[in-house]
Amino acid sequence: MAPENHVENPAEYALENFSHNVSAAVHALTPNPARHVGQAVPQVRRITVQDLKDSLRAGVADLGALRDDILFIGLIYPVAGLVLARLAADYALLPMVFPLASGFALLGPVAAIGLYEMSRRRERGEHVTWADGFKVLQSPAIGSILGLGALFLLLFGLWMAAAYELNLALLGPAAPPTIRAFEQNLFWTQAGGTLIAGGIGIGFLFAVAAFAMGVVSFPLMLDRDVDMWVAIGTSVKAVAKNPGIMALWGLIFAGLLVAGSIPALVGLVFVMPVLGHASWHLYRKVVV
């Protein structure tokens, strides 16, 4: 039993409230399934390494052609870097800096939805500007898109809560007095080593779940207005049918994100638009 004077940490408070409402939100935002009755179930096909290369080339081509897509999403991440720097200055929040930074990747498919829309319109030969990214709000599938976005936010909240509880269990509730003391505890103690290993392991599981759910689901809903659960199922099937290639795509994705994060997330101004556009083209190769 929790003590009477227990005060919830921010992660616990957010998770409790979000979990309480997420089911109702998903139900409310998901369109009437009757609208999708008789709709053909999307099929997935096997892809090759060449398809990954082609998708990346197409993503670079979209970035070169559109350019102002950088304004749509690319600037979000340097701003996020400033937020992380501010958190790092608060020693009480210092242990949550890395979980928060790595957790941004879980929300990548949600953040890139406007880029998918821009690539979709360019593919159709339309003149595209950054404002067209917001036309996703006019999509017939907007309810399903928002519902899946809510699930990804829940996944992000669960990751933050898990990271906080792991840190609490291993390093205790006391805030590190200095950054050096935090580094000493993290890198030169047994508890710190366990925290790093446990955090990587748990984070990997969350990343796999987010990747499997989102690798083609958002583009699919934009393209065909399928039900949210059909989109998730198709995405999982795409990963299951191409485990090696999709694992390689995940490694490429993660590697480019890490490279773009140095220094201070500035490289993500270019990396994120390329990955977003490339994900649209990969969807085109996977789903038929």
The confidence score (pLDDT) of residue 25 equals: 47
Per-residue pLDDT of the chain (288 residues; tens, 9 = 90+): 444 444 455 445 444 554 444 444 445 454 555 555 446 789 999 999 999 999 999 999 988 776 655 555 655 666 666 666 666 566 667 788 788 878 877 888 888 888 899 899 989 888 877 777 788 888 888 989 999 999 999 999 899 899 989 988 988 888 777 778 888 888 899 988 999 999 999 999 999 999 999 999 999 999 998 989 999 999 999 999 999 999 999 999 888 888 877 766 667 778 888 898 999 999 999 998
Give me the residue spans of the domains in the chain.
42-286
The pLDDT value recorded for residue 7 is 45
In contact, 199 and 163? CB cutoff 8 Å:
yes
Residue with tokens 């809903």: 221
DSSP code at position 127 = -
Contact (Cβ atoms closer than 8 angstroms) between residue 165 and residue 8: no
pTM: 0.79
Question: Residues 237-273: pLDDT tens digits?
Answer: 999 999 999 999 999 988 888 887 776 666 777 888 8
Question: Is the distance from CB of 152 to CB of 109 less than 8 angstroms?
Answer: yes
End-to-end Cα spacing for the chain: 53
CA distance 160 to 203: 10
State the pLDDT at residue 81. 60
**Contact between residue 206 and residue 155 where contact means Cβ atoms under 8 Å apart:** yes
DSSP assignment letter at 129: -
What pLDDT is recorded for position 82? 62
Residues ≥6 apart with Cβ < 8 Å to 96? 11, 87, 160, 163, 164, 167
Q: Where are the alpha helices (DSSP H) in the chain?
A: 10-29, 49-66, 69, 76-88, 97-103, 108-111, 113-123, 142-171, 179-187, 190-214, 217-224, 228-241, 243-260, 268-286
Which pLDDT belongs to residue 39? 64
